[in-house]
Amino acid sequence: MLFELAEEERLFRSMVRDFAEGEIRPKVDELWEKGEFPYGIIEKMGELGIMGIPWPERYGGSGGDYLSYVIAVEELARVESTCAITLEAHISLGSSPLYYFGTEEQKQEILVPLARGEKLAAFGLTEPEAGSDAGNTKTTAVLDGDEWVINGTKCFITNAGTDISAGVTVTAVTGQDDGKSAISNIFVPKDTPGYNIAPKYKKMGWHASDTRELSFSDCRVPASNIIGKQGEGFCQFLYCLDGGRIAIAGLAIGNAQGCLEECMKYVKERVQFGKPIASFQAIRFKLADMATQIELARNLAYKAAALRDAGKPHTKEAAMAKLFASEMCMAAATQAVQIFGGYGFMDEYPVSRFFRDAKILEIGEGTSEIQRIVIARELGI
């Protein structure tokens, strides 16, 4: 068993790292302070093929594997999280249902511009009354002739309201099956009448990413916009979420790695009691623990990605990777702020931003509590 990336994956990592250092690092302060969506950076990511890494070239993608995509998310988050989450929501949530379950026509029409980075994808699952309990979806889609008529509200949706958003794939109740709501996934283009976009939320972190409430009032889309078979939406999004969880683990690993690197510089510069604080065992142990935990999380996430690439079951591994990496990241960011002392509490210090960007990773795409439920279920209890 070799724990080594393939040559292609190593080259890909260094390409994304160079991009993040050259194109994102100089704009980190601006992204955080202004909170404006990074159109220019996303356009360049599209040109480099990053916006369609795991999709085949015939669909506008780069033909890479899922592991390369997770590495890209990690490398972006090592510098800054909003570009990383924009990519993650675009690929794992927005584009995945189309790629895995869409028709050839849907792939050619909708997925190709997404994979090239010309358009941005979103997935609308969460509702005011259906968060962790995603099966409690209240949004409805009723077939009227050859159109779906969609009504309902989605909250906290990433990527659905930018100038380059293609639209959103929503989960909607399309009937009943054994007394339970039968849920389908339906693609709704952004300019459809009745697709209402609320202003951006003001968030604790991820300032420049686009997160909004969406509402649909008698929003009509062609019947052919359903993705896969009617009533299979729940199973589809569970498969997409397995992939999303691995990518969120990548985001957490990148954030924690960023914390570690900032600390490694700071502890050599900061002098107290006549010595760099790097000489104090209490500080050295914190760094040793951070590095160890990051390595553990990385191994879990890469294993889950490799299983997905091999077409093997990975629900448990994806949930474990997401759970462990996000909690590890929160702990690493907390220790990073501690190591920076009072300066760590100041907005202009990167660890303060890493800290604020970390918390959501324990919540989005299934909270830590939900990951534990999934893992316990997979254990057979």
Ligand X SMILES: Cc1cc2nc3c(=O)[nH]c(=O)nc-3n(C[C@H](O)[C@H](O)[C@H](O)COP(=O)(O)OP(=O)(O)OC[C@H]3O[C@@H](n4cnc5c(N)ncnc54)[C@H](O)[C@@H]3O)c2cc1C
Which residues are marked as active site?
365
Rounded to an integer, what distance in angstroms lies between the CA atom of residue 86 and that of residue 48? 15
CB burial readout 298-332, b (16+ within 10 A) else e: bebbbbbbbbbbeeeebbbbbbbbbbbbbbbbbbb
| Strand ranges inside the chain, DSSP E | 123-124, 140-144, 147-158, 167-177, 180-189, 195-197, 211-222, 226-227, 271-272, 275-276
Q: Which residues contact 380 (CB under 8 A, 6 or more apart)?
A: none
Determine the interface stretch with ligand X among 41-49, 118-126, 302-310, 329-337 (rule: CB under 6 A).
118-126
Minimum distance between the CB of residue 205 and ligand X, rounded to whole angstroms? 8
Contacts with ligand X by CB under 6 A: the residue count is: 23
Q: Contact with ligand X (CB under 6 A): which of 62, 92, 96, 158? A: 158
Other beta carbons within 10 Å of 296? 14
Give the per-residue contact string, 63-92, with ligand X (x = CB under 6 A; - = no).
Answer: --------------------------x---
**Minimum CB–partner distance for residue 318 and ligand X (Å):** 15
Task: Write the burial class of residue 56 (CB in 10 Å: 0-12 exposed, 13-18 middle, 19+ buried).
Answer: middle
CB contact burial 358-374 (16+ within 10 A = b; e otherwise): bebbbbbbbbbebbeeb
Query: Rounded CA gap, 371 and 369, in Å?
Result: 5
Residue selected from 16, 93, 214, 318 as contacting ligand X according to rule CB under 6 A: 93
The Cα–Cα gap between 78 and 118 comes to 25
Q: Would you count residue 360 as binding ligand X (CB under 6 A)?
A: yes
Closest distance of CB 199 from ligand X, Å: 14
The C-alpha torsion from 70 through 72 and 76 to 77, rounded to 10°, is 10
Stretch that binds ligand X, among 52-60, 99-107, 290-298, 367-375 (CB under 6 A): 367-375
CB of 122 to ligand X, least distance (A): 6
Among 74, 80, 327, 365, binds ligand X (CB under 6 A): 365
Nearer Cβ to ligand X, position 72 or 208? Answer: 208
Q: Is 156 in the site for ligand X (CB under 6 A)?
A: yes
- The single residue among 51, 70, 76, 157 that binds ligand X, judged by CB under 6 A, is 157
Tell whether residue 363 is a contact of ligand X (CB under 6 A): yes
Residue 198's CB: how many other CB atoms inside 10 A?
14
Residue 183 is a binding residue for ligand X (CB under 6 A): no
Candidate residues 86, 92, 95, 126; the one interacting with ligand X per rule CB under 6 A:
126
Segment interacting with ligand X (CB under 6 A) among 63-71, 105-113, 220-228, 364-372: 364-372
Are 166 and 52 within 8 A, CB to CB? no
Per CB under 6 A, 131 contacts ligand X: yes
Question: Which part of the chain contacts ligand X (CB under 6 A), choosing from 59-67, 298-306, 346-354, 362-370?
Answer: 362-370
Residues that bind ligand X (CB under 6 A): 89, 93, 122-126, 131-132, 156-158, 203, 206, 211, 360, 363-367, 369-370
